[in-house]
Amino acid sequence: MKNLDEKYMKECFKLALKGQNKTTPNPIVGCVVLNKNGKVVSKGYHKRYGEYHAERNALLKLKNNEAEGGTLYVNLEPCSHYGKTPPCVDIILEHKIKRVVIGMRDVNPEVNGIKKLEEAGIEVTCGVLKEEAEHLNRVFIKNMTKKLPYVVLKTATTMDGKISTKTGDSKWITSEVARAEVYKMRKDFDCIMTSSNTVIADNPSMVHKFKCILDKNSRIPKNSKIFEQGEIYVATKDNTPLKDGYLDLKSVLENLFNRGIYTVFVECGGTLAGALLKENLIDEVYQFIAPKILNDNSGKSCFNGNNILKISEARPLKIYSTKMFGDDILLKYKVL
Ligand code: AOF
Ligand code: ZN
């Protein structure tokens, strides 16, 4: 049973991913339905924010008794509330499903589907491939539980972790293939965030529909390329609360969240990166590493926020993906 449960749960993950980046701030969800003989009779996934949920999409394809006595697999606890759509628990009961297998509990406090299903006499197994299910919906979990956007910090470094020489020269550390990948990645995020330091040093265009610049003292020149395109929100000391004399980064992110920004891609130097890390505001780091050594202590580092004397105080990360782009490597880390 365990192997079969995991097999169909993986199928749910695959289906869920079809909705990736189209459902925020809602989760990505896939659903597989088996009849009482163990044959797959329907599949569905959540296609877009506000539309029907995965379970309903799968069950609506079936006649009323086709899945009677069968098993429903879904990577997230079925909902039991009226949101933009009616409760999935109701349609699961209508179809007389016997067993429901779930990847993870819903973090939405309005949802209590497992209890409702159990009360109706349905056998529920929850927590199948739970870690993978949680990783899949990491953006939803962050948005729902913290009311903050999911933050990915991107950096491009030499093998010894430097983003530029001491004079600020950084063009280019990584190859064209790696930089082209960055252009593609940006599209998956609601917002690009950067600092006045980066705008002043590099004058980047950062083509995107929405950009946020942290510019406490309104230092960036009005003719910077970043203003040429897209909507821009400049956080300054006049519109943002301060913390220890700096812009309160959490409050900037809260502000973005309240404007409907659910994912943020940060491209900046070591100062902002270090400050965000210290404030616990980074969820993931994407690091492109070029096979080059600067071999100079005065070169600038990708994170520069601490004065740490013990390696035991270093921030732990977990690498969850590695991929080559030309001669460079992209490491994706979760901040633990
Ligand atoms: C989804 N898709 O497949 C599942 C969800 O406003 P509603 O009706 O769309 O409800 C959204 C909530 O429903 C969402 O926050 C999550 O807790 C739950 N499950 N949501 O968008 C799905 N299964
Ligand atoms: Zn639902």
Instruction: Kindly report, residue by residue over 56-67, the tens digit of the pLDDT.
Output: 999 999 987 999
Residues 268 and 153 in one domain: yes
Residue with tokens 């956007």: 149
Ligand nearest to the CA of 79: 2
- Residues 139 and 154 both lie in one domain: no
Quick one: 154 and 77 in the same domain?
A: no
Distance of alpha carbon 108 from alpha carbon 88, whole angstroms? 14
Q: For residue 323, give Cα distances in angstroms to 37, 114, 161, 286, 333.
A: 41, 38, 18, 11, 12
C-alpha–C-alpha distance, residues 288 and 173, integer Å: 9
Residue 267, beta-bridge partner list: 154
21: CATH? 3.40.140.10
Can you tell me the mean pLDDT for 114-127? 98
pLDDT tens by residue, 126-141:
999 999 999 999 999 9
Last residue of a domain, one of 104, 122, 143: 143
Does residue 320 share a domain with residue 232? yes
User: For the residues 289-310, what does the mean pLDDT come to?
Assistant: 94
Q: Quick count: other Cβ atoms within 10 Å of Cβ 281? A: 20
Whether a cis peptide bond, with omega within 30° of 0, leads into 25 is yes
Amino acid 223: pLDDT = 96
Question: Which pLDDT belongs to residue 307?
Answer: 83
27 lines ligand 1 (CB under 6 A): yes
Percent of the chain predicted with pLDDT > 90: 97
How does pLDDT run across 169-208, given as a tens digit for each residue? 999 999 999 999 999 999 999 999 999 999 999 899 999 9
Which residue in 6, 11, 51, 55 is the catalytic one? 55
Tell me: cis bond preceding 172? Omega within 30 of 0 counts: yes
289 confidence band (pLDDT: 50, 70, 90):
very high
CATH number at residue 270: 3.40.430.10
- Note whether 139 and 151 are same-domain residues: no
Alpha-carbon distance 146 to 144, whole Å? 6
Q: Coil, strand, or helix at residue 195? A: strand
Q: Which long-range contacts (CB under 8 A, 24 or more apart) does 231-239 make?
A: 233/259
Is the pLDDT at 76 greater than 80? The verdict is yes
pTM for this structure? 0.95
pLDDT at 64: 77
The answer to whether residues 86 and 190 belong to one domain is: no
| Cβ–Cβ < 8 Å for 131, 235 | no
Share of the chain above pLDDT 70, in %: 100
Q: Are 156 and 177 in contact (CB under 8 A)?
A: no
Rounded distance, CA 83 to CA 21, Å? 20
Tell me what the mean pLDDT of segment 199-227 comes to. Answer: 96
Number of domains present in the structure of the chain: 2
Q: Mean of the pLDDT values across residues 151-174? A: 96
Which among 253, 271, 153, 248 has a CA at the least distance from the CA of 201?
271
For all residues of the chain together, what is the average pLDDT? 97
Q: What angle do CA 304, 316, 330 make, to 5 degrees?
A: 75
pLDDT, residue 306, reads: 82
In the sheet where 317-325 sits, what is the strand order?
Answer: 231-235, 210-214, 191-195, 263-267, 150-157, 284-289, 328-335, 317-325
Over residues 257-277, mean pLDDT:
97
Q: Do you know the residue count of the chain?
A: 336
Q: Omega before 204 cis (within 30°)? A: no
Look at residues 143, 163, 184 and tell me which one is the last residue of a structural domain.
143
Query: Are both 105 and 74 inside the same structural domain?
Result: yes
**Terminal alpha carbon distance of the chain:** 32
Instruction: Report whether pLDDT(49) > 80.
Output: yes
What is the CA(90)–ligand 2 centre distance, in A?
Answer: 9
> What range does the domain containing 243 cover?
147-335
Residues 238, 160 within the same domain: yes
Out of 143, 167, 200, a domain closes at: 143
76-84 mean pLDDT: 97
Q: Are residues 68 and 136 in the same domain?
A: yes
> Are residue 27 and residue 128 in the same domain, yes or no?
yes
Mark whether 155 and 276 lie in a shared domain. yes
Whether the CB of 46 sits within 6 Å of ligand 1: yes
Does 138 share its domain with 208?
no
Selected residue with higher pLDDT from 63 and 79: 79
Cα distances (Å, whole numbers) of residue 247 to 70, 183, 251: 55, 28, 8
Residue 228 bears catalytic tag: no
- 53 Cα: distance to centroid of ligand 1 (angstroms): 6
